[in-house]
Amino acid sequence: MTEPLLRYGVSLYSYTSEYGVTMTLDDCVEDVADLGATGLEILGEAHVQDYPNPPAAWLDAWFARLDRHGLTPTCYGSWVDTRRFKGRTLTVDEATRQLETDIRLAATLGFRFVRPKLGVVTSDLEPDPVWEPATERVLDLAAEKDIVLCPEIHWPSVIKSKVVDDYLAFIERTGTEHFGLLMDTGVFHKRMHHRRGGTPSRLGDGNARPPEVPVVPVCDLEDVLDHVVHVQAKFYEIDDDLQDHYIPWAEILEILVRRGWSGYLSSEYEGDYGVGRASDQLRRQHALIRRLLSDLSDKDQ
């Protein structure tokens, strides 16, 4: 097997139930560094003070924090709310301006990847049609800022789908090097997890499920891996024996290692709520992944 250049990161989305309640931004970042990760993923609207125009003092503190903890900005989550206005969806011009705003801010903060999230029009998360013309309009800016836009392949989307086919066709048609795929490992879950704890909001409890649960074979990852620029290592629960009964990590890692894929595994905890739970679960996941990678390395010798 080819030795991969896999690096460990964390999405601050993992701390959603505690961020702003029991943990500050500093607390979350310190925890990421303490567990041995080197990559940091954020959501622009959630984690940037006075988004989209953070004050100079906040920017200074941001870079000082990264330097102090030896962290690299990885992926910046952008939200293009196509249903922002009652009675109509966003126009191409409006969606373009939102993407431009986030590309510029992400570049200012040192990020290389921007995950654009748009409103969807089907149950398998096909994005609003505005995504394609708006994305094409910002490719020159992305190239100027050295940013790669990477929409997320997120359950219940599957790899063999119109959603992914459209993204791949866009890459082929434009010939761009500034558009790729973000693979969320929740796509490969073996069984459903129903989150417990916390307080349901007006948006629900996070457990909405389509009537049919798609099953995605991990081998499908091989078909698109050449276009995958970032991996969100989604997980729900690592037990006391460091086993994950939801996400097939051994299969996923075997493909990444064998294909020599390079990039960040950005942990995204989306399990039960509870004080300190995300921090504990992130450490369990990293320990599990490190053990599995060590096993793969031993087999290769």
Q: Which of 267, 180, 270, 189 is nearest to 225 (CA)?
A: 180
Q: Map tokens 């500034």 to a residue.
A: 178
**Is 193 a residue of the active site?**
no
Q: What percent of the chain has pLDDT above 70?
A: 92
- pLDDT (tens digit, 9 = 90+) per residue, 65-82? 999 999 999 999 999 999
- pLDDT (tens digit, 9 = 90+) per residue, 5-21? 899 999 999 999 999 99
The pLDDT mean for the chain works out to: 92
Q: What is the CA radius of gyration of the chain?
A: 19
Cα–Cα separations (whole angstroms), residue 148 to 64, 118, 140, 212, 227:
25, 16, 11, 33, 11
Residue 60's H or E segment, with its range, is helix 56-69
Average pLDDT (123-130) is 92
- pLDDT (tens digit, 9 = 90+) per residue, 144-177? 999 999 999 999 999 999 999 999 999 999 999 9
* Backbone φ and ψ of 106, nearest 5°: -60, -45
Catalytic residue among 47, 154, 178, 230: 154
Across 87-222, the runs of DSSP E, i.e. the strands, are: 113-118, 148-149, 152-153, 181-184
